Amino acid sequence: MRRRYALFRIGLFFSLLTTTLWLVPWAQAQPETLTIAAANSLKEALRKVLPLFEAEHREINVRVIYGPSQTLRNQIEQGAPVDLFLPSLFEEIDQLDKKGLVIQGTTRAYAGTSLVLITGTALPAPVGSIHDLETVPVRRIAVGDPKTSSVGKVAAQFLKHSNLELRLKSRYVFGEHSRAVLDLVAKGEAEIGVVYRTDAVSNAKVRILDTAPVESHTPVRYGVAAVWTSKNISKAGDFIEFLLAPQTQTLLQEYGFDRVSPDVGLAHQPGVKP
């Protein structure tokens, strides 16, 4: 009888031990989700950057929603469940901030880029520079739609400043966002296009012809901020810190990004890693 009882206790012990070992790792293995709303022009770079971040922060699972910056901003304003906003123009964050929809102390500039004139490599346009657009006939020029994309707004500024708007306006072919503009040129549906350098450098089907003068448009700065719908501000701060790290900055340069000063009036807030 005593032997049976002893065996029963031993069996119960190992049963409880096995159950405990099964449940504890299961509970610990559930990563927290960090949701990022990012501009389409960031897609290639983030495909490289995000796995490195997740390797350093195994407790975090990153989910990315890509789209035109203005569309993403509108969705955030309407309450989309997003932790971080990464538009392709800092102005989009400023607009959220004016409405009190940005978590104070989380806004940073982490990169910049240029506006460039491109053509396809298969059937290149007979254009060598921006000045050629004043005399060389071009049938179609792909630009972003200013109503839906940041690159469209910046391109419109450049074309107006360069006195090319009246000459070329009837030849515009609009793309919803920068990647759509790039595709129009790559597929030969437009002879030239105006995109961010970050889109053009990694695409073998297009060639950069010229760079728009800095004074011709709003500086293209990429910013990041945690927004009002964030459920995980601390983890959002980890990602912001990662974006500003030297190794990440070096990687971004490979995708056509430029370094910029991160100082945009960020005030340190409890629970946030700037």
Locate the domains of the chain by residue range.
Answer: 1-30, 33-112+221-253, 115-211
- In this prediction, residue 147 carries a pLDDT of 87
Which tens digit of pLDDT belongs to each residue from 138-148?
999 999 999 88
Q: Would you mind telling me the total number of residues written for the chain in this entry?
A: 274
Distance (Å, whole) CA 237 – CA 221: 19
Tokens of 274: 């700037």
Domains 33-112+221-253 and 115-211 share a fold: yes
3-state SS string for the chain:
CHHHHHHHHHHHHHHHHHHHHHHHHHHHCCCEEEEEEEEHHHHHHHHHHHHHHHHHCCCEEEEEEEECHHHHHHHHHCCCCCCEEECCCHHHHHHHHHCCCECCCCCEEEEEECEEEEEECCCCCCCCCHHHHHCCCCCCEEEECCCCCHHHHHHHHHHHHCCCHHHHHHHEEEECCHHHHHHHHHCCCCCEEEEEHHHHCCCCCEEEEEECCHHHCCCEEEEEEEECCCCCHHHHHHHHHHHHCHHHHHHHHCCCCECCCCCCCCCCCCCCCC
Tokens of 72: 């993403």
- In this prediction, residue 16 carries a pLDDT of 44
Does residue 180 carry a pLDDT above 70?
yes
Task: Say which CATH superfamily domain 33-112+221-253 falls into.
Answer: Periplasmic binding protein-like II (3.40.190.10)
The owner of tokens 């072919």 is: 173
Does residue 181 carry a pLDDT above 50?
yes
- In this prediction, residue 265 carries a pLDDT of 35
- In this prediction, residue 246 carries a pLDDT of 95
Which tens digit of pLDDT belongs to each residue from 242-261?
999 999 999 999 998 999 88
- Name the CATH topology of 115-211: D-Maltodextrin-Binding Protein; domain 2 (3.40.190)
263 or 270, which is more confident: 263
